[in-house]
Amino acid sequence: MQFIHMADTHLGYRQYGLSERENDFFEVFDQAIEEVVHERPEFVIHSGDLFEYSRPPTKALLTAQNGIFRLKNENIPIYAIAGNHDIVMRKNALPPQILYKDFGLKLISPKNSFYLEGEVFIGGAPYASKYNSKQLIERLQTIEKASLNHKKSILVLHQGIDRYIQEFEIKIGDIPQSFNYCAFGHIHERIVDDFGEGKLAYPGSTEIWRSNEFEGYKKNGKGFYLVDVGGDIPEIEKIDLKLPREFLKENIEYIQLQEEISRINSYIKNLSKKPILNLTVHGGNFSRSEVYEILNQAFSSTCLSLRSKYLPENIDQDLPDMGKGALDTKTMIKERLKDFNNEEVSELATGLLKEMSEGDYKRAEEMAKNFYEGLYDN
């Protein structure tokens, strides 16, 4: 019994505000569907964040529709949950995945918490914030009871766990251990772990969603898992996808700036698409604005996007010692908002800070709009 486990496709994400990056995410999704058809699994599980926004742009909706319809034509069922990006923060609102009910997608939700695919139990729940973790844990206990009479069982969630990340919604001890396979989404790095009677796995995102995923991509690739639950212990195979364009990360010394620019551009000219270049210049005493102008002139026509950092010598010699955590903006925001006695407001504020600091203003606008619509509906 083989199935595909994928997650975090984030269709509709216009990284750095670039339409080319939005199209890259579409291209990778189409490639993933082709690979699924090639592998001929019994079914597919998508563990959340099919879309970047709860109100996806038209092209994102059509891309998902075409892929899901392709799977239907190939008689490959797909089971999905809503991730935090898919969810409309409004009472009784439905995630966009519901649009594909007639195309063969089976949405795992509070109303339909599990399905049976032959002898395999597939149960789960949509994303829940840490402030709703108690309700999620109670729901997991109910799902576990329903699964106990089945030979094979799969749990599908879109959550961060304390074992793997600092900002988590649930603890590893809150997850039932009776499932053969725990199909998680939300963390964009690939993870496979022994857990209870089987395996717990994150397939990671299918594209580089943030620049800090670059190292993980170089080490483990991007794609999804082909899982076989026929034996006592699930067997997991990585299926890698070829990303449409390269992410380049370079750390160069100021004294060798011109030589390094020539070297990088010599490499870039052999690429089929303009890359994303993340560049750090360090060492020496230099003017950041002057180096910025030099880099912008050197790479403006060869790179799709240049993300640069500058670390001249003695950068902090005149700065006072503020103490550890003194400039922790997130902590400062939470402290400032504590008088409101509303954890959701605090979560919104820190979420907006994260998205806006990374340049994703559309996601920040979506978060704020959903939050305030939710207030009016309650």
| Catalytic annotation, residues | 85
Q: Which residues are CB-contacts of 342 (< 8 A; sequence separation ≥ 6)?
A: none
Distance CA 87, CA 2 (A): 29
- Mind giving me the DSSP string for 272-297? SSPPEEEEEEESS---HHHHHHHHHH
Measured in degrees and rounded to the nearest 5, phi and psi for residue 289 equal -65, -40
Distance CA 48, CA 159 (A): 9
Q: What angle do CA 34, 233, 158 make, to 5 degrees?
A: 55
Of 175, 173, 141, 134, residue with least CA distance to 157: 175
Dihedral sign for Cα 326, 329, 335, 339, please: positive
Measured in degrees and rounded to the nearest 5, phi and psi for residue 302 equal -110, -20
